[in-house]
């Protein structure tokens, strides 16, 4: 199962998400020569609200980050789903997924 992690952020903030890539069996996915594509949407299949590229921290450990800018997180408050595809040697693998709860800046 791909890595599952949930986040809570405020609309309009810069935020870096730290993640671990996992394969279908739940094992750490090595990211040597990988490219990482992040997509966040209001609900599965409803189009991408935010697209970003992941940055590998440690390829052998499968760790990576996704940096989101204030303009990317400046979305309506609510729950969003995200997923990350790792492309390695032309093969796409779902390696991370979860939810991101976006809170309004004036929301505690």
Task: Give the pLDDT confidence of 3-24 residue by residue, as tens digits.
Answer: 899 999 999 999 999 999 999 9
- Report the phi/psi class of residue 95: left, alpha or beta, with left for phi > 0 and alpha for psi in -120 to 50: alpha
104, 10 contact by CB (below 8 A) = yes
Structural tokens at position 37:
């594509």
- Report the phi/psi class of residue 44: left, alpha or beta, with left for phi > 0 and alpha for psi in -120 to 50: beta
**First and final C-alpha spacing in the chain:** 33
- Supply the pTM of this predicted model: 0.91
Give the number of other CB atoms < 10 A from CB of residue 68.
21
pLDDT tens, position by position, 22-61: 999 999 999 999 999 999 999 766 666 899 999 999 999 9
């Amino acid at each position: 199962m791909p890595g599952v992690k949930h986040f809570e952020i405020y609309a309009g903030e810069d935020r870096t998400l730290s993640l671990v890539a996992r394969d279908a069996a739940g094992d750490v996915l090595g990211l040597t020569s990988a490219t990482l594509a992040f997509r966040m949407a209001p609900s599965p299949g409803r189009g991408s609200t935010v697209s970003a590229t992941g940055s590998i921290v440690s390829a052998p450990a499968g760790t990576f980050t996704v940096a989101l800018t204030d303009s990317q997180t400046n979305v309506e408050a609510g729950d969003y789903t995200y997923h990350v595809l790792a492309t390695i040697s032309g093969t796409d693998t779902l390696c991370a997924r979860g939810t991101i709860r976006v809170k309004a800046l004036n929301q505690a």
